[in-house]
Structure 1
């Protein structure tokens, strides 16, 4: 048996050495490419299904979540409470904040919760002042910057009214920046913390025609996060830009989850498992798969496809606006 195995090896080696040099080069390059793809696949399996989550309490006993009354923010709040963290919830509507707080307390009675009313379209400085006062003396170890808005529906840039344009910039960029600026000093004093900024695939995976201002603001969030990661990684603070694709939320106008569209609860669970690792990530596994598929296609084809989809969304949105005006 050993002799047969040795003969087979010799035959294989002799066959290779008899080939032209270009065949050997192609074989080598192909082998390396296949190996890289296989190792990448194994790594993604490990990251998405096998890698252990960090102990979030090591960052601190409190977590602050912006826009926690619906969608991803609400799901993050519940998941953080399930992990035993007390919560500071920052939102615009006091009634909705109370409803979320009551629901969390009903399920996790030991969790302490502070509600802060802050309108990110309004006076940001006054809102940030309320945050600073509320977290004074608290061990806030995790910040989830989830607040953000998008277009009501796709539209060309010249169709974006000034109010929407300014709100996109103020909420997505200025709001995220100022809340981070308010919470970060406490983390520095304790030499520990985690900051998660929720970005968007619109800014990272592909171009987003008909959503230009939204995509640009989310690109800022991603770059801001990556810079903070480099600035503070030696100070015990993990900064991460999370880049979700579509999630079944009101903001995305998607009611039911699908294979490539997780529920907000499923996304939040994946999002928490990713905290403390890469500076940028796409936490949900089908989103990560979709990202790979998109990047395997020509960019021009993806841009054209995105434009066609956007035009259909724009057409439906305009029809709804027209019907509302008639009523």
Structure 2
């Protein structure tokens, strides 16, 4: 007995579902392939020293610890001298003195002004004469957050732009020339899911706008310096358990498994260095990125 053909609507939906699953697989395939390969020896590929901005808490601290575990000596840059001393001592103790550290006290919100020139001079001195193989531009300001633009203190908004965009540019300009002369190095700029996964990020407008600058800068530098042996990469965290994630968002997360710990995120992030101009290192966060593409812009805006 002949079987009846499936309705067209059913066939169409089945085909759409198959295509959806195929795209999910293809999106996650690079992630799986990367983890099947032996991790790259970053220190051997790029150089003995790494500069990390904002290394005293959150992602910056975890990244500094991860790079130390991978054998890098570290130049640590932050505005708080005591916090720098604490993380520097913690790194040296964890590695029995095998990892050297240098600290630079610099308030990134003053870069480009007379007050910041002394700190930039200290940075240039700290990297002079050592082979800086990697720069991690992690430091950023997200507060004040969850405010309408007209309610925020304009001076704090300007300081946010200065740290997130202007200071990142200045620190990169201080480190990049020596990399270019040697013909090798890596620059990792920490971006934000607010610029790659959603069409708008209301109430955090200036923060997401400053991170959009970091995204474009990273992509252009990637093209500009790839031929000179320098890997420039934008790494995009979504939800990570750090102080940057507000308590309100943590309480409202429907899928806590999608919120990575800082240590888990940075372990994945280190593996991604040198693999493309943009990376969402954590597998769960890559899935979030993919799923976000299927939500219409108006729905993203309403949810935000």
Using structure 1 for the length normalisation, give the TM-score.
Answer: 0.81
1:293 is aligned to 291
In structure 2, which of residues 250, 263, 273 is the aligned counterpart of residue 265 of structure 1? Answer: 263
For the structure 1 residues 159 and 52, does the alpha-carbon distance in structure 2 shift closer, same or farther, using more than 3 Å as the test? farther
> What is the rounded CA distance, in whole Å, between the counterparts of 2:21 and 2:116 in structure 1?
51
State the shift of 1:205 in Å: 1.0
**Residues 18-42 of structure 1, C-alpha deviation per residue, up to 9 Å, x if partnerless?**
xxxx99xx79x86993684265155
State the shift of 1:54 in Å: 2.0
1:69 is aligned to 56
Gaps of 5+ in 2: none
> What is the rounded CA distance, in whole Å, between the counterparts of 2:38 and 2:294 in structure 1?
29
Output aligned runs, 1:39-58, within 5 Å. Answer: 39-41=25-27, 43-47=29-33, 49-57=35-43, 58=45
Larger Rg, first or second structure (1 or 2): 1
**Once superposed, which parts of structure 1, at least 4 consecutive aligned residues long, lie more than 4 Å away?**
29-32, 254-257
2:215 is aligned to 222
For the structure 1 residues 42 and 295, does the alpha-carbon distance in structure 2 shift closer, same or farther, using more than 3 Å as the test? closer
State the shift of 1:189 in Å: 1.1
In structure 1, which of residues 273, 276, 297 is the aligned counterpart of residue 274 of structure 2? Answer: 276
Output aligned runs, 1:78-117, within 5 Å. Answer: 78-108=65-95, 109-117=97-105
Query: How many matched pairs?
Result: 288
For the structure 1 residues 191 and 45, does the alpha-carbon distance in structure 2 shift closer, same or farther, using more than 3 Å as the test? closer
RMSD: 2.7
> What is the rounded CA distance, in whole Å, between the counterparts of 2:33 and 2:268 in structure 1?
10
Output aligned runs, 1:126-165, within 5 Å. Answer: 126-165=118-157
For the structure 1 residues 161 and 107, does the alpha-carbon distance in structure 2 shift closer, same or farther, using more than 3 Å as the test? same
> What is the rounded CA distance, in whole Å, between the counterparts of 2:79 and 2:227 in structure 1?
34
For the structure 1 residues 204 and 69, does the alpha-carbon distance in structure 2 shift closer, same or farther, using more than 3 Å as the test? same
Contact 2:28 2:283 in 1 (8 A): no
Contact 1:119 1:127 in 2 (8 A): yes
Matched position secondary structure for 1:209: coil
